Amino acid sequence: MNKIWQTLARMILPLALLLSTVVPLSQASAAARDPVLSTDFEDGTVQGWTPRGSASLTVVTSEKHGGASSLLVGGRQATWHGASRDLTGRLDPGRKVHMSAWVLFTDGPGEQTIALSVQRGFAPGSGKSDKYDNVAQAQAAKGVWAKLEADYTVPADTDMNRISIYFETPWKPDNQATPGDLIPFYIDDVTITENAPLEIQHDIPDLHTVLDPYFPIGAAVDPVDLLNDSDVHSDLLKKHFKSLTAGNIMKPDALQPSEGTFVWTNADKLVQFAETNGMLVRGHTLVWHSQIPAWFFTDPADPGKPATREQLIARLETHIKTVVGRYKGRIAYWDVANEVLSESGGLRGAEGGSKWKDIIGDADGDGFDSDYIELAFQFAHEADPDAKLVINDYNLESSMSKLNGMVTLVQRLLAKGIPVHAVGFQMHISNSAPGIEQMRSAMEKIAALGVKVQVTELDMSIYANSSEAEKPVTEDILLEQAKRYRELFGMFKEEAQKGYLESVTLWGMADDGTWLDNFPVKGRKDAPPLFDRALQAKPAYWGIVDPSKLPVYRNAMRAARGTPVIGAAPDKIWQAMKPTPVDQRVNGRTGAAAEARTMWDEGHLYVLLQVKDSTRGSKDSAEIFIDPNYDKSAVYLPDDRQYTIGPGGSVPAGIQSVVTETPDGYAVQAAIPLNKAGAALEAGGRLGIDFRINDDQGDGVVASSAVWNDYTNHQSTDPSRFGDVVLGSAAKITDAIYGSPVIDGEVDGLWNRAQSIRTEVWVQGLPVRRRLPRRHGMRITCTSWPM
C-alpha cells in the first residue's frame, strides 16, 4: 500500500463511517438466504484472505469459533491493518446482503472494538477515490468470541470496479494508536448471504388477539404507500394491529398545504384501509405548532404581518370542521391538541416555537390564554359529537412539571365544560427509563381527573440519550427491551382493567420504518418497535405475546468488596451500597418484597435482604440461589446452591446467617463461603445469583412470591436463569457526625471533628486536587466518591 493511499484512507475513513449505507441487524431473518461467501478456515488455508497493511495471516488451531481452526491476524502496525477478502464480481452495486463473522482477541486491554468494513474502488477515469463503509462493530471482551453482524446494501455506483471486505480496529492516526489498538486478533466463520425478499411470519400469534381483551393495539403508518396490498408491511399491519394512526399525512401541512386547498388522497386511503380491515383510526393531529404551514399565522393581505386573533380562530374552525367533518363517524379518536405544554408545564409559547397562544390569547376574557385549545375541542365536538377527543403530549410519564401542567390544564378545561375525553401519553421512552411504576402513577394521576388515558406514540429507543453513539443491536439489548415491553404491557393491562387506559399505539410497526433512525440524532439507527428490519418478530414481541419463548434476561447487580460483620443488626457498611429491588411477583398479587445488597471478599459472598413483609407466617422465607462457577448450566450441578432462610425457615447448614425483625418485616444477613472452582473470588468476576421472597400471610401457605431475576420462577431447577452479581471494588463509608455548622463563609470549628474522605478514582476529566466546600458533616476533598 503506498503512502498517498494510506493518507487518503485516513482522511476518508471517518467520513465514510458517517455516510455508510449500513443497516445493523443482529437478529437473523427466518427467510432463506443464498451464500455469497463462507470462510471457516477448516481446510487449513487462508481461503482467499490477504493481509492489509503490514499484517500477517496464519491459520491456527489454538483458537477457533466453530470447527478446529481460525485465522490469526498479527503484525498490525496501524489500526487499519488487518485481513481483507476481495469480493469483486460477487458484491454488485445494489445487492442486499447479510454479513456475519466472529472475532476474538486474547492479548492486551480488557475490551477492544473490532470492525468489519467494506472498501470500494472506482474506475481510474471516474475521478473518485476509494470509499470505506463501516458495516459492523463488536465491542469484544478479551478472551471471548464476539459476533459482528449487519445488513449491507452495496451502493448503486455503476462505476465501482473493486470491492473487498476487511477487519480492523477503529481508525486512529498512527501517532495516537496505542499497543491496545494494534493487538493481534482472530477471525472465524465469516459468511455473507443474499437477503431474501421480505416476508412476514404467518405462523405466530396475532398481537391483537393477546391484547383485544384490554385495549385496541395500534400502529402509526408512514408513508401511506405501505398500505398497498403489494407491500408486505400491509400484511404485518392486518395480522397484528386493530388501530391505525397516520404518522404524518393527517397533520395540517399535509391536509391543507395552502389556505382552502385540502388534499385528501392519502388520508382517505388510510381511513379506507382501516375500515376494510376492521381497524379503528386515531386521527393525528388537528392543532400543533409543528408541521403546520406558515400561512395559518400570517395576514392573508400581507404575509409580512401576523394573522389577527379573528383570522386565526376562523382558520382553526375551518380546518377542524372540514377535517373532522369529512371523517365523521369514521375516526374514533382525534388528537385535537398536540404538545401544547412547555417544558416547565405552562402553555407553550414563542419560546417553544408556537404562535397559537400568543395570537389567540385570552379571547373570552376569563383570565386564561388557553382559548385556542378550548375552541379546538369545541369545533371538533361540533363536527363529530361521537368522536373521542384527546389532548396529547410527550414526557408526561417522565417529567413532573409536564404532568402537573397537564393536570392543571385538564382540570380547568373540564371545569369549563370543554369536551376533553382523554389525555394521550406519547411515551417515547427508552430501554432504560422511566421506571414502570413511575409511568403507572403518572397515568393514574390523569385517570383520577375522570378522563381516560391513551398511549398514543409508544416506542422504546435502545439509546438512553442523544449523546450515545450508534451501536449494534445485540441480543442482550433486544432481551433487555423484551423484558421492559413485557413489564410495560403487564402494567398497561392492569390499568386497562381498572378502566383507566383505553388504547395503545406504537409509533411504527417495524425497525425498518422507525422515525428514531433520524431523531434525535440524524442517521443513528435505532430499534424501538416489535418487529425487526426483516419484519420478523423481535424478542420484544414475544415479551408481550408469550414471554416463556424468551431466554430470561440476566439483570446484573454489583457486589462491593468488603467483609460485613454478621450480627444483631446489619453492619453499617451495607449503607454504602445501592439496594436492588427483589419485587417481580411470580405468584399472588400482593405480598412481601425485598431489597438486596451483596458484598464479597476472597472467601465469601455476603447477602443482606431487607424484606418488607407486613404479615408473619410459618412459611415466610427468603431464598438465595447461587451459581458460583458461573457456568449458567440449565440443571443444578454440584457447585450450584439454594439456601432457604427466614423467620419461618431453618438456618441452612454450611453458612452463617442471622434473621432479625425490623419495623416493617425482617432482615436476613448471610455469609456464604465460596470459592470459584477452587480459586479465591476476584474483582471483575461474576457469579450467577437470584433471590425469592416467599410470603405466608398467616395461614401456613405461601400466598405470594417475589423474585429478582427469573420471572418464570424456575430458580429451584434451572441456574441458567439467574441474574449476575459482578464483583466490584471496595465499599467505603464514613460517619457523619451530629452538629449544625454555621454556613457563613467562615469555616465552622465543628468541621474539624468531621471525618475527611478522599476519592482517588477519576470517572471523567483529569485529577485536579482541590478542596470542595465542606457540607453536611463530611469533608470531601475530591469530586468523585466511587461506590
Using Cβ positions, the residue closest to ligand XIL within the complex turns out to be 515
Q: Enter the C-alpha cell of residue 487.
A: 413489564
For ligand XIL, give the closer residue by CB, 395 or 474. Answer: 395
d(CA 264, CA 787): 59
Q: Enter the C-alpha cell of residue 423.
A: 389525555
Question: Is 339 assigned a catalytic role?
Answer: yes
Cell numbers 375541542 label which residue? 377
User: b/e string for 468-490 if b means 16 or more Cβ within 10 A?
Assistant: eebebbbeebbbbbbbbbbbbbb
Give the footprint of ligand XIL on residues 677-716 (CB under 6 A): none
Question: Is 343 assigned a catalytic role?
Answer: no
Give me the least distance between CB of 222 and ligand XIL, in Å please.
5
Give me the least distance between CB of 363 and ligand XIL, in Å please.
25
- Of 757, 563, 612, 600, the closest CA to residue 689 belongs to 600
Count of CA atoms in the C-beta half-sphere (13 A) of 214: 26
Residues 6+ apart with CB under 8 A from 604: 563, 671, 672, 673, 674
Give me the least distance between CB of 423 and ligand XIL, in Å please.
14
Tell me the sheet residues that pair with 132. 119
Question: Is 682 assigned a catalytic role?
Answer: no
Give me the least distance between CB of 457 and ligand XIL, in Å please.
6
Q: Candidates 74, 216, 218, 247: give the one binding ligand XIL (CB under 6 A).
A: 247
Q: Alpha helices, DSSP H only, in 71-169?
A: none
Tell me the sheet residues that pair with 168. 115
Give the footprint of ligand XIL on residues 456-485 (CB under 6 A): 457
Q: Enter the C-alpha cell of residue 650.
A: 431453618
For ligand XIL, give the closer residue by CB, 42 or 253. Answer: 253
Q: Enter the C-alpha cell of residue 405.
A: 401542567
Give me the least distance between CB of 233 and ligand XIL, in Å please.
15
Q: Alpha helices, DSSP H only, in 52-193?
A: none
Sign of the alpha-carbon torsion through 100, 69, 115, 36: negative
Give me the least distance between CB of 478 and ligand XIL, in Å please.
22
Say whether residue 454 binds ligand XIL (CB under 6 A).
Answer: no
- Of 444, 474, 334, the closest CA to residue 392 belongs to 334
d(CA 360, CA 313): 7
Q: Distance of alpha carbon 498 from its chain centroid, rounded? A: 27
Catalytic residue among 168, 181, 339, 397: 339
Say whether residue 222 binds ligand XIL (CB under 6 A).
Answer: yes
Q: Candidates 26, 70, 338, 431: give the one binding ligand XIL (CB under 6 A).
A: 338
Q: How many residues bind ligand XIL (CB under 6 A)?
A: 7
Give the footprint of ligand XIL on residues 497-526 (CB under 6 A): 515
Residues, the chain: 787
Q: Enter the C-alpha cell of residue 64.
A: 477457533
Q: Candidates 47, 106, 201, 248: give the one binding ligand XIL (CB under 6 A).
A: 248
Give me the least distance between CB of 257 and ligand XIL, in Å please.
16
Give the footprint of ligand XIL on residues 412-431 (CB under 6 A): 426
Give me the least distance between CB of 164 and ligand XIL, in Å please.
36
For ligand XIL, give the closer residue by CB, 457 or 620. Answer: 457
Catalytic residue among 457, 480, 502, 695: 457
Give the footprint of ligand XIL on residues 295-334 (CB under 6 A): none
Write out 422-456 in H/E/C secondary structure. EEEECCEEECCCCCHHHHHHHHHHHHCCCCEEEEE
d(CA 378, CA 678): 75
d(CA 657, CA 74): 52
Residue 385: left if φ>0, alpha if ψ -120 to 50, beta else—which one? alpha
Give me the least distance between CB of 292 and ligand XIL, in Å please.
11
For ligand XIL, give the closer residue by CB, 195 or 426. Answer: 426
Asked if the bond preceding 520 is cis, omega within 30° of 0, the reply is: yes
- Of 222, 202, 215, the closest CA to residue 270 belongs to 222
Give me the least distance between CB of 285 and ligand XIL, in Å please.
6
Report in angstroms the alpha-carbon separations of 184 from 68, 69, 169, 176. Answer: 19, 16, 10, 18
d(CA 664, CA 262): 64
Are 686 and 727 contacting, i.e. CB atoms less than 8 angstroms apart? yes
Q: Enter the C-alpha cell of residue 25.
A: 441487524
Q: Enter the C-alpha cell of residue 210.
A: 393477546
Catalytic residue among 181, 374, 393, 639: 393
- Of 461, 438, 374, the closest CA to residue 409 belongs to 374
For ligand XIL, give the closer residue by CB, 276 or 518. Answer: 518
For ligand XIL, give the closer residue by CB, 423 or 622. Answer: 423
Give me the least distance between CB of 431 and ligand XIL, in Å please.
18
d(CA 83, CA 167): 6
d(CA 508, CA 630): 39
Give me the least distance between CB of 519 and ligand XIL, in Å please.
7
User: b/e string for 562-584 if b means 16 or more Cβ within 10 A?
Assistant: bbbebeeebbebbebbeebebeb
- Of 111, 139, 166, 154, the closest CA to residue 472 belongs to 139
Give the footprint of ligand XIL on residues 610-649 (CB under 6 A): none
d(CA 108, CA 130): 31
Give me the least distance between CB of 288 and ligand XIL, in Å please.
7
d(CA 685, CA 672): 16
Q: From the CB of residue 603, how many other CB atoms can be counted at a distance below 10 Å? A: 13
Say whether residue 266 binds ligand XIL (CB under 6 A).
Answer: no
Residues with a catalytic annotation lie at 339, 393, 457
Residues of the shown chain interacting with ligand XIL in the complex, contacts defined by CB under 6 A: 222, 247-248, 338, 426, 457, 515
